[in-house]
Every structure is written in C-alpha cells, then in structure tokens.
C-alpha cells in the first residue's frame, strides 16, 4: 500500500502533508486533502466558523484538487466547459473557532453521464470529523448551455473512492405550503464568482439572512436550479418544516425558483 501511495503522490493524484495521520476512518486512501487555520474574517458573531465559510472550504478543496491535476479552471475554459453545482448536503457536528487547525478533504466517488458526485470532510487536529458533505456537480458546455460528459483525461485523473459514511438525504428538496415572502435582495458584485453569477455560498448566506435570527445549523441542504447574475433581484420565500427547521425558496423577478435551501438546527455551535 505504501508503494502504491507513493506512486499516486508522484502522479499528482494524492496530496498529503506532514499531518497525514489525522485522516479519519471514513476517508479513503485516495482522498485529496489540505490543511488550513480558521481565520478571524470567517467567524460569525459567536466566534465560530460561518456556515457559508465551511461551504467555501469544501468548494476550495475540490478546486485545488482539479488545479493540481491539471483539469482546473483554465483547462475547462479552453474546452468551453464548466462544473456547475447542482446540490449540497452538509452535516455539521460542530463549528471550529479562531485559529483552530483543520484538515479539509474531498474525493469524487462516481461519474454518471454529465454528473459527478463528491464527498467532503473537515477534521480537527485530533482527526475527529467535525463536518462532512455530499455534492452533485453537472458538467455544462458554455456555448450550448447543454450537459456534456467528462473527457477521458478527466476520468483518468480523478481517482474514484468509496462513499463516506454519512446519512445521505435526497437531492431534491420539497417546499412545504405556506411560505411567507421575505425582503428582496439586489445582487451586487460581491455576490458573484468568476463565472459571473451568484456564488454558491452567497445563496446560502442570503437564505440564512432572510430568517432574521441566529441559526445553529446542524444540516444544510441546497438545490441549485437557475443562475442569477449582477443587478438581478432574489426574493426569499420562507416556510417552517415539520422538524422545526426552515426551507427558503429563492426566486428571481420572473418568480422562478433559482435555489432552495433547507436548514436544520441543533441549538448550539460547539
């Protein structure tokens, strides 16, 4: 196994650091990971990592892997392709605090046509898992806006692992009846990413802010349906769930659903 791991590392398919032993039991031998330290700018009022910052850590991890494998942003741009996030499911045991050292890991576990499935984990310095996630990405042709299959090069470079142990929820989020209209949000430059539409984490932030309360989120699900661009307006429609959580339906000016966010709470951050 050691020899195989060394070969994979030399091929750029397996990234580890000096703290490699902190990897948890749920992670496969081929999980890509990087180490980070929680920054002050990423904290909420309680001094814990913000939910959308956790999402950003996970998304950055998959981006780093793609860049290191040579199939990142420039590769996709040259081939007129882009990975579009279709759904998130994030489960949080606790939110780390300022200065805490964490390891973030990811691995793809399945390709199905134009769709790619990934797991993510965040672990503390002792190797204990503090958050995990499942995500579905769709590969889209920029010129036609239609789906396309990954290239052979991409399929060869992404080493598939096994799904991690977590309680998987359906990708589709049901919107209960009785939603109440919230305050409109004008999309500004800080909401956008390099694809010139609203960043995935910004939808989550808009949904959380629409609740106008402190949220101690234990599970967050997001279903992305339609891209939103600069100067468009999103209106949240908010409804409680049977479990006491919230579903926020973010609609554009044509009353089309662009993103659905489901929030479950546990009452505490740490």
pLDDT at residue 270 is higher than 60: no
DSSP 3-state of 60: helix
Q: What is the Cα–Cα distance from 169 to 37, expressed in whole angstroms?
A: 29
- Residue 191 pLDDT greater than 50, yes or no: yes
Torsions phi, psi for 4 (to 5 deg): -65, -40
**226-252 pLDDT, tens per residue?**
989 999 999 999 999 988 999 999 999
Reading the block at residue 223, the tokens are 């279903």
Q: How confident is the prediction for the chain on average, in pLDDT?
A: 88
Enter the tokens of residue 147: 């789906």
Closest CA relative to residue 32, chosen from 55, 9, 4: 9
Global pTM value: 0.85
Phi, psi of 2 (to 5 degrees): -60, -45
Residue 269 — very low, low, confident or very high, per pLDDT cuts 50/70/90?
Answer: low
Nearest to 252 by CA among 172, 174, 192, 186: 186
In the chain, the largest separation of any two C-alpha atoms, in whole Å, equals: 59
Q: Give 233's strand partners.
A: 186
The residue ranking higher by pLDDT, 92 or 200, is 92
The closest of 52, 104, 88, 47 to 268, measured between CA atoms, is 47
Residue-level pLDDT at 214: 85
Instruction: Kindly indicate whether the domain formed by 180-265 is annotated with CATH number 3.10.129.10.
Output: yes
Cβ proximity of 251 and 195 under 8 Å: no
Question: What angle do the packed helices 200-210 and 51-69 form, to 10 degrees?
Answer: 170
Please state the CATH superfamily assignment of the domain spanning residues 2-157 in this structure: Hotdog Thioesterase (3.10.129.10)
- E strand residue ranges, 43-128: 81-92, 101-112, 115-123
Percent of the chain scored above 90 by pLDDT? 80
Of 112, 123, 99, nearest to 23 (Cα)?
A: 123
> What is the model's pLDDT at position 29?
56
User: Confidence class of residue 110 from pLDDT cuts 50, 70 and 90?
Assistant: very high
pLDDT score for 197: 85
- What does the pLDDT read at residue 106? 97
Q: What's the token pair of residue 191? A: 């909401």
Q: What is the CA radius of gyration of the chain?
A: 19
Direct distance between the N- and C-terminal alpha carbons of the chain, in angstroms, rounded to an integer: 37
Domain layout of the chain by residue ranges: 2-157, 180-265
3-state helix, strand, coil in the chain (%, to 5): 20, 35, 45
180-265 and 2-157 share a CATH fold: yes
d(CA 132, CA 142): 30
Task: State how far the Cα of 220 lies from the Cα of 56, in Å rounded to an integer.
Answer: 14
């Amino acid at each position: 196994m050691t020899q195989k791991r060394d070969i994979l590392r030399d091929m750029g398919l397996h990234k580890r650091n000096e703290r490699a032993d902190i990897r948890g039991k749920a992670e496969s031998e081929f999980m890509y990971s990087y180490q980070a330290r929680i920054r002050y700018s990423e904290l909420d009022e309680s001094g814990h990592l913000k939910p959308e910052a956790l999402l950003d850590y996970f998304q950055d991890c998959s981006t780093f892997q793609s860049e290191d494998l040579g199939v990142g942003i420039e590769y996709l741009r040259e081939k007129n392709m882009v990975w579009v996030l279709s759904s998130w499911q994030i489960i949080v045991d606790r939110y780390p605090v300022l200065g805490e050292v964490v390891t973030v890991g990811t691995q793809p576990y399945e390709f199905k046509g134009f769709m790619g499935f990934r797991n993510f984990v965040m672990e503390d310095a002792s190797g204990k898992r503090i958050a995990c996630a499942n995500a579905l990405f769709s590969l889209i042709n920029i010129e036609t806006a239609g789906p396309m299959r990954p290239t052979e090069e991409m399929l060869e470079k992404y080493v598939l692992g096994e799904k991690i142990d977590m309680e998987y929820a359906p990708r589709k989020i049901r919107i209960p009846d009785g939603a109440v209209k919230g305050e409109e949000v004008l999309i500004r430059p800080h909401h956008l990413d390099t694809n010139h539409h609203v960043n995935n984490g910004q939808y989550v932030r808009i949904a959380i802010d629409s609740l106008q309360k402190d949220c101690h989120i234990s599970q967050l699900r997001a279903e992305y349906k339609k891209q939103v661009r600069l100067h468009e307006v999103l209106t949240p429609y908010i409804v409680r769930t049977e479990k006491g959580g919230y579903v926020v339906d973010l609609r554009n000016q044509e009353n089309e659903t662009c993103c659905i966010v489901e929030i479950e709470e546990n009452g505490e951050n740490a």
